[in-house]
Structure 1
Amino acid sequence: MEGGKMIDWSRVQELKTEIGADDFFDVIDVFLQETDAVVARLPNLSDPQSLANDLHFLKGSALNLGFAELAEICQDGEKLMASGVEEMSAQAILDVYARSRRAFLGGIGILAA
């Protein structure tokens, strides 16, 4: 499967086992819809608290579904915001999310079997 460090495939398999194969793909759909929406608004956020909240949401969602690199970069962003930085570029997060999403969707079919 693609995305060794990017995607924690053992976490993905664990989640599939926890929630069952039937509901697994529904969870993936909800995750992708919610994270797509949050990621899309990141570049337009000017309020530091809103940015921090969205980074926290993304980190938690990413950890839950095995998007390891995305979780890490969101955590780094959260730390920056907590240290008093009021602005940050969202481009790195957008890039990591896009690569992670592609790797995930490319590898998820293997888990469907």
Structure 2
Amino acid sequence: MHTTVTEWNMINWARLAELYEDFGEDGIAEVVEIFLEEVGQAQERLLATEDSKALRDEFHFLKGAALNLGFDEIAALCATGEQRATEGRDCSEEKAQLALLLPRTCAVFARDWRMRMAG
């Protein structure tokens, strides 16, 4: 898998470094594992629904999870989707962008976070 500048830059590595200092390597490894699992499940639920309330809830969850680990651009995309769903507006564009960006960003994150914290 080739990492593009966009995928690498979509992660706020300074945020992860703060968490690493707070939790240590073992603690952050557990946080990362839970994050990747829960975000994957939430994205599946998001992509499978058209219900405005469910969309709003999933965008909200993903936004918070993304902010916690420094996925700032993903969080901004989710905030837009959440707002549009709250207003009952079409958020298919946000769903499509998320379907493309989130798995790739998570893959880069899962692959590189230990190396990034070591260096």
What is the TM-score with the length of structure 2 in the denominator? Answer: 0.84
Identity %: 33
Decide whether the 8 Å contact of 2:63 with 2:79 is kept in 1: yes
Q: Secondary structure at the match of 1:46?
A: coil
Partner of 2:114: 109
Distance in 2 between the 1:22 and 1:105 partners?
A: 14
By relative contact order (CA 8 Å, sep 6+), the higher-ranking structure is: 1
Partner of 1:99: 104
| Letter of the 1:102 counterpart | A
The offset of 1:112, in angstroms, is 4.9
Q: Would you tell me which structure has more helix in proportion to its own residues? A: 2
Partner of 1:20: 24
The offset of 1:29, in angstroms, is 0.4
Distance in 2 between the 1:5 and 1:83 partners?
A: 30
Decide whether the 8 Å contact of 1:69 with 1:96 is kept in 2: no
Deviation per CA, 1:55-99: give whole Å up to 9, x if none. 0000000000111121110011112123331x4222111111022
Matched, 1:29 2:33: yes
Q: CA RMSD in A?
A: 1.8
Among residues 68, 78, 83, which one is paired with 2:82 in the alignment?
78
Q: Residues 41 and 75 (structure 1 numbering): CA distance in 2 closer, same or farther, change over 3 Å?
A: same
Q: Which runs of 5+ in 1 are unaligned?
A: none
Decide whether the 8 Å contact of 1:5 with 1:68 is kept in 2: no
Q: Secondary structure at the match of 2:9?
A: coil
Partner of 1:67: 71
What is the TM-score with the length of structure 1 in the denominator? Answer: 0.88
The offset of 1:106, in angstroms, is 3.2
